[in-house]
Amino acid sequence: DAGVTQSPTHLIKTRGQHVTLRCSPISGHKSVSWYQQVLGQGPQFIFQYYEKEERGRGNFPDRFSARQFPNYSSELNVNALLLGDSALYLCASSLIWSSGNTIYFGEGSWLTVV
């Protein structure tokens, strides 16, 4: 079975543009979360979705939005990009939302804003 897949792997955007990052969870997993990792720091929680509903939101501005589709894949959208949005964006999946199951991460999408 494939692990968590993310696309694109790398991208460069200009300040003010918007970006869409995509994530496909492990087959059978219904919960998807998004994290932002700035160089030298641990990942910071952005969003969590379960069964297509938002279950949690981190301390990020409204420029960040996300959604989950009926097949449990997810998109993270960031509008009006700032230089500080440059980071590794990680998607994680787990079987269900509130459980003790292991959380699995994808390889991430590297976003550079110039």
Shortest Å, Cβ 84 to other proteins: 18
Nearer to other proteins, 17 or 46 (CB): 46
**18 phi/psi in degrees, rounded to 5:** -120, 160
DSSP bridge partners of 88: 37, 110
Contact 36, 46 (CB under 8 A): yes
Cβ–Cβ < 8 Å for 87, 76: no
Q: How far is the CB of 12 from other proteins (least distance, A)?
A: 15
CA–CA separation, 67 and 40 (whole Å):
28
> 96 phi and psi, to 5 degrees?
-135, 175
Give the binding site for other proteins (CB under 8 A).
4, 6, 33, 35, 40-45, 48, 55-56, 58, 90, 92, 97-108, 110
Q: List the beta bridge partners of residue 56.
A: 48
Closer CB to other proteins, 16 or 56, in the complex: 56
Q: Which is nearer to other proteins, 64 or 110 (CB)?
A: 110
Shortest distance (Å) from residue 103 CB to other proteins: 6
Q: Which is nearer to other proteins, 79 or 101 (CB)?
A: 101
Cβ 81 to other proteins, closest distance in Å?
21
